[in-house]
Structure 1
Amino acid sequence: MTERGQGSVVSLHTDVKSTSGSEIPSMQGIVSREFFDAVFEQAPPMYMARPDGTVIYANSGYREHFRPGAAQRVDDQILPTLPQDHLDIVTRIAETKETETRQLSLNAGQTTEFFLSRHFPIFDDENQLIAICGSFINSTRQVNAEIKLRDEKRRFLDITRAASDWIWETDADGKLTFVSDRVVQAVGLPPMLLKSKRLADLGVFKPEADGGNKAEAAMEQHVPFRSVPLEIQDTSGDYKIFNMSGVPVFNDKGRYVGYRGTSDDITARLLAEDEAMSSKAELERAINEITQKNMQLEMTAKKALESAKAKDTFLANMSHELRTPLNAIIGFAEVIGLETFGPISDKYREYVGDILNSGKHLLSLIEDILDIARIESDKIPIEIVPTSLAGMVADSYVLIQNHAREKRLEIIGTRITENIDLAVDPTRCLQILVNILGNAVKFTPRNGTIGIEYEIIDETFVDITIWDTGPGIAEEDQEKIFEAFKQAHEGVYSRGTDGVGLGLTLSLKLARLMGGNITVKSSLSDGSRFKIRLPLAH
């Protein structure tokens, strides 16, 4: 008989009986039955079966590991049958007459054993299939080692994938031999196109402060390097920055064979850092500007305090140094005008009248300036009490009636019969009414008319309107008349009348201090209407 399989042929002649009682071919008298049994019993598990699946021989290793099924009688001999999976292999080889090699697993209690099996046909001298033989080599250790190696590789890849974007390897010449698949997401190129390239071919390493290249210097010295930025332009034209880290690799003999390393995309992080640095720089600039402005404000506030203090000192001195001699001048002029110490001529009487009027005008001007200064310094006293509107109008009329009679002006509406109380400071309210009425008398031509009207607004305010038949105020000048030392440039306000433009300014400030306001409507042909709004007392 001959075995045909994988190129080897063994000639077998004569038959001998095995220890199991079956006939086993002998080797031309050289191989005895005892020798055959001794050799195959020491061999790994094996079986020999006829093409129909009948077992011819099975050594103890096979019977121990695979535990064949029920016994069968063959030529008055009892032999076990093959397991079903082995029987399927025998049936298949009987048809194909081809050798099969396969890995088989075997459950052994709580563990699994693996066997590398080889199943081959045996032919006689006439090339007729007479038997099928199967041998089994225990490969459990090798398979477990491969499984462990596969698990370790999978664990390594998982950790590397989690720790970096892509990994790489080079040979001793610095050419890439391996690049992980995730490089496609990083640079837009498949690993195949990157092999045999150098790292420096992929992009540009960021130089150090001294102009050197940390990564290339390390690779020349075969030492590790870490976190060296590499700028790569991907296929879309965008630039990305990767942190490259690598370690040298040496074989068992200590010979340098290349590098292994990782790469992390830090583009987004660098952009965020740049934005943060830019924001920080802008914040620092803003803080510096604010600090400088605060210093300027402190200096300005200090100067303002000094100016306010100087102004208060000036006002106090002015109040004493100007009002005291003016009061004396006015008093002496009145005494001379009364001829207390003897008669005076008409010419001197005229001069005394001019002195008296000029002194009173100058004293009034000084009082207005002092009042405006006090308002701006929040030092003018305001005492709000219920005050009769009719009384205020009557008192103000008394103070301007002589001047009105001299110009033969008609004043209507001065008698108010309705009982209306204002929530104002009486002195300051009278000052406002006298200023507005005085202006109406001052700028209304002879034989003109002046009127006083009032209207209650929402049970909260009363609007007191003082109108005249004078030439009026141009529209562009109506806001200017409320500014200090400003007078209108058209109409009668351009003439050389008494006053320097403080009456309306002071009146507006006083009205607003008491919660009211003053507005004006006028035209150059219809005269003027000044509306004084003051709060009502409840």
Structure 2
Amino acid sequence: MRFDDTLDTVLAADLSSAFEQQSVYRQLVDLIGRGRVPAEDRAIETLAALIPQVPLAVRSASARGLAFARPPAALVALMARDELSVAAPVLRTAMLDDGEWTALLPALAPSGRAILRHRRDLSSSVLRALESFGPSDYVLEDGREVAAVPAVADQPLAPVADAIAPEPDPVSQDQVTPRSDPVVAGPFSSFGAVALTIPIVADAVRDAETRGDTPIESTAAPEGPFEIADVVARIDAFRERRERSAPAASPRLPDAAAVDRFRFETDAKGVIGWADGIGRAPLLGRSLMLAGQVGAASIDASAAGAFRQRARFRDARLTIDGEGLAAGGWLISGVPVFDPASGRFTGYRGTARRPRAGETAAPPKHERNARPDAFRQLVHELRTPTNAIVGFSEMIEMQILGPVADPYRDRAQAIRRHARDLLGAIDDLDLAARIETDALTLRPEPVSLRAVIGSVVDDLLPLCELRGATIAIPSRDAAVQGDRHAIERLLGRLVATLLSATRAGEVVAMELTAGDDGEIELAVARPLALAIDPVMAVDEIEDDSTLDAAPLGTGFAIRLVGNLARELGGSLAIDEQQLLLKLPAATPVSAQRASKL
């Protein structure tokens, strides 16, 4: 007999922190949407309660992750009532039967039903149900009060001035009397009544009646259906008068996007002395011989190399800092110029243009913003099967489903150990993505560093015995201000990375001191095998034991520790003797010293 308690485990999670709320929301949407757990009422109620607490970006990413996953009707109904960025991905791909669609339609917003109208796989009964919402979905809502529309088509249309209830006009206030007739509700409106709600139509009508203009064909009220030609003529006349009375527009200067080319010339020393087609201030005095950063401009080294050989160059990169027409990146090309009489080199003449799409290494802005979110979604997809691997390996190792031979139990233990290492790497990737997208939630509080270090060392004792190294815990304690979970993660990853670089008999000594700038400094002795710049160095793996500490490499771990330290308001520095970690003190250092005195 098998019992699946996945849903109970997720619902029993602690929801006191924002991180846990987002995690539970993502897990419930994934499990229910992919049919791994039933859509029970308690699960749907939990999701509904978490919606106000979970950011819209997280909810939208979870909805996009359900593409073609066939979520149940209860989950579709819940997410369809959310914001449009959450409802749209689900409504575009959800597969429900006719009865479920018909029951869901009244609860949808007009925008949600509009999405369903663009689907071509819905049955005729669902399409007929959608058509019944047409009168309410197609209403143009702009906050205006429109007068009643005659229910019978052959009745004359009310005067135009009576059909509009605008703000009182000082000129026409004594000429136009608002109607007091009650508004008659009706499912349909004539085209003329809808046209009267358009601002340009209302302005034209008010202008015509203020000036006392008569209708185009006769001064009497029109008989029969509404004539749209009358309104069109009034609109044209109103536009013509407004254009004649409008003041002449001042000439507009070209913006930065319009200036995409310029020309330049240099002297025999490569100094730019003339430029045309752009602001010359950032360019004059810049030399092609000085590659790299030169004041407010940065010139590619390829131009300097061509200048030394008096050769032509093409598409060298020029970057101009600041604001204005010249700011930004350019691709410059030039040809050497020689005196026809003497053959003496006189300088360069060239042109510059803006880079086209695809000529720069940087991805488009929307891709840069979307890439971390997509990466976090991938990390979430990796975490789910890895957790399943850990669970199944534990079942085999503990013989829950029946007796298992010892060799298979040993294999299951190895699978569980490596899967947990993989989970640690996945957590590191998720943490790095959250730091990059500014999605890391921190709750500062006073934290005892010595207590956290002691807990981290206890967890890493097996690795210490495997490496034959020793960790010397600081003799004194100090309190820092930061998120306890983040500090534990920082110190755990830092100590594990240092242990992976130790050798037999080596001691990793730690010492806590109070800095002069309101920070607590943790100095850690640098193992001899750790590079001075581990971020740029190539990892050298001597044995498989290092995989337990730094599965993604020493450089990634140190970079992650440094980024996390900056998020906490501190820093990480490495020199030949030690690693110096600085974190904000829980109380100012001056106050600590005063209390000791």
TMscore range, shorter length: 0.3 to 0.5
- Tell me the TM-score normalised to structure 1 length: 0.40
Structure that is richer in strand per residue: 1
- Tell me the TM-score normalised to structure 2 length: 0.37
